[in-house]
Amino acid sequence: MKGRWLLAIAVVLLALAFWLTRTVDNRYIYFSAYAVLQYVVLATAWNILGGYTGYVNFGTGAFFALGVYTSVFLIQAFAAPLLVQIAAGGLVSGLLGLGIGYLTLRLRGVFFSIATLALAVVLETVMINWEYVGGAKGINIIRPAPGALFENYVQLLFMVMGALAIGAVAVAWFIEHSRIGRGFAAIRDNEEAAECTGVPTLKLKLLATTVSGCLMGVAGAPFPYYLSFVDPGSAFNLSYAVNSLAMPMVGGTTTWLGPVIGAILLGTAQQLATVTISSELNLLIVGVVLVLFVVLAPDGIVGLVGRLVRRREA
């Protein structure tokens, strides 16, 4: 029942976005809205592993960039259309998630996090030395024509990322409201007890790394067309790892809504700061907000609101 309402809201949001592309022409709006929506996908993806299951991934950049470079490769080799790029980006990053899961999930806590951090470094080194996809100096990508529906390609990308964001949130919602979500939470709370309560912990953790990695790759796949230029520095940017961790923490990690709120707040703040103050200030803002939240509201905005509501009821 609640799910049907959310579906209706999602359809309305998409329709509104489409209407926006009919009425507002300012390209910059779509350009920055895309960035915010991309963070909705990344934060939601991170949260499936980090928030639900409790395994902190510092390697978001690796999964994102793998999606980016999968697209670059497909554009270079086959001039593949955007939808194929997205599907392939998701598939490849999902497989990376599965592989990393197999290799590292026997590591607990901080050791898993360090391994994901190392993964990003390794993968970046590979891309720097792979000339076919641009190597260290990067590669220019020529956007195709936007098609009949849209004025320009950025509007089209904005709509695509909007749909992907809704898709990612739907996946998170489904997990949260299924047996799987409860299994994830049991793993996060106490892995041994979960295993002894019949939860197939290894299988579920692999599912979490795969789904999380897949969504990150999906978020990265449209990136080459978005910037028209890809180099390892931008694809593997540290800000992806920092933001996709900070946004769920600020919004709240235990529900699907937390990462969405965090991504919209922090993402918008960064977009505004880039224009009005300086583009260097972005991560500083994220850092300060993150510290404040970790100290003052460890359950994030969702937890904070929940606490206030309960206090009023009591």
Partner 1 sequence: MAEPLLRVENVVKRFGGFQALGGVTLSVEKGERFGLIGPNGSGKTTLINCISGMLRNDDGRIVFQGRDVTDLPAHRRARLGIARSFQIPRPFGSMTVIENLEVALDYAARGRAAGDDHAAAALEILKMVGLDGKARVVSGRLTQIEMRQLELARAMAARPSLLISDEAMAGLSSSEVDDLLTILFRLNEAGTTVIMIEHIMRAVMRFSERIAVLDAGEKIAEGAPADIITNRAVERAYLGE
Is residue 96 within 8 Å of residue 63, measured between CB atoms?
Answer: yes
The answer to whether 185 contacts partner 1 (rule: CB under 8 A) is: yes
Which residue is associated with the tokens 């990612």? 168
The answer to whether 294 contacts partner 1 (rule: CB under 8 A) is: no
CA-closest candidate to residue 208, choices 236, 233, 185: 185
The CB-of-53 to partner 1 minimum distance in angstroms stands at 12
The only residue of 10, 37, 100, 186 in contact with partner 1, by rule CB under 8 A: 186
> Distance between CA atoms of 53 and 74, rounded to whole angstroms?
33
The answer to whether 108 contacts partner 1 (rule: CB under 8 A) is: no
The answer to whether 305 contacts partner 1 (rule: CB under 8 A) is: no
The answer to whether 192 contacts partner 1 (rule: CB under 8 A) is: yes
Nearer to partner 1, 54 or 67 (CB): 54
Nearer to partner 1, 280 or 313 (CB): 313
Q: Which of helix, strand or coil describes residue 290? A: helix
> Distance between CA atoms of 34 and 220, rounded to whole angstroms?
12
The CB-of-186 to partner 1 minimum distance in angstroms stands at 5
The CB-of-305 to partner 1 minimum distance in angstroms stands at 17
Question: How many Cβ atoms sit within 10 Å of the Cβ of residue 103?
Answer: 11
The answer to whether 147 contacts partner 1 (rule: CB under 8 A) is: no
First to last CA, the chain: 28
The answer to whether 254 contacts partner 1 (rule: CB under 8 A) is: yes
The answer to whether 288 contacts partner 1 (rule: CB under 8 A) is: no
Q: Which stretch binds partner 1 (CB under 8 A): 61-69, 200-208, 262-270, 280-288?
A: 200-208
Q: Where are the alpha helices (DSSP H) in 105-190?
A: 109-128, 153-176, 179-189
DSSP 6-73: HHHHHHHHHHHHHHHHHH---HHHHHHHHHHHHHHHHHHHHHIIIIII----S-HHHHHHHHHHHHHH
The answer to whether 188 contacts partner 1 (rule: CB under 8 A) is: yes
Nearer to partner 1, 244 or 255 (CB): 255
The only residue of 201, 210, 212, 243 in contact with partner 1, by rule CB under 8 A: 201
CA-closest candidate to residue 41, choices 163, 215, 199, 185: 215
Q: Which stretch binds partner 1 (CB under 8 A): 115-123, 182-190, 222-230, 243-251?
A: 182-190
The answer to whether 298 contacts partner 1 (rule: CB under 8 A) is: no
The answer to whether 200 contacts partner 1 (rule: CB under 8 A) is: yes
The only residue of 198, 279, 310, 313 in contact with partner 1, by rule CB under 8 A: 198
The answer to whether 129 contacts partner 1 (rule: CB under 8 A) is: no
| Helices and strands counted in the chain (H then E) | 15, 2
Chain residues that interact with partner 1, rule: CB under 8 A = 179, 182-183, 185-186, 188-190, 192-202, 254
